[in-house]
A = this chain, B = another copy of it.
Amino acid sequence: MPIDNLLGYGAAFLTTVSFVPQAWLTFRTRDVSGISLSMYCAFTLGIALWLLYGLALGAWPIVVANAITLMLALGILVMKLRFRN
């Protein structure tokens, strides 16, 4: 596999799975005071646009990576809203 494809797949894997430990920590501790609501609103919307971009291009690696990230980011956003009081 060419080096640039390896870099791209490694990058996509890491930036996608990185939200798993955050979602798990938040689910387990309900500690959301240090998590920025603005960040997760903008980030979740941005990932939804990446997903639409991938669908518009028919670029399935972009679709798959962002569909997974969207579920995780949306989960963290919902927990931020539910656990903040």
Q: What residues make up the interface of A, taking CB atoms closer than 8 Å to B?
A: 3-4, 7-8, 10-22, 24-26, 29, 31-36, 38-43, 45-47, 49-50, 52-53, 56-57
Interface of A is mostly: helix
Please state if A26 and B34 are interface contacts (CB–CB under 8 Å): yes
A-B contact pairs, 6 of them (CB 8 A): A7-B49, A11-B49, A22-B38, A22-B39, A33-B33, A34-B34
Q: Given contacts A11-B47, A11-B50, A53-B11, is CB(A33)–CB(B36) below 8 Å?
A: no
Specify the chain B residue showing the minimal Cβ separation from A38. B21
Complex contacts, A39 vs chain B, CB 8 Å: 18-22, 25
Please state if B46 and A13 are interface contacts (CB–CB under 8 Å): yes
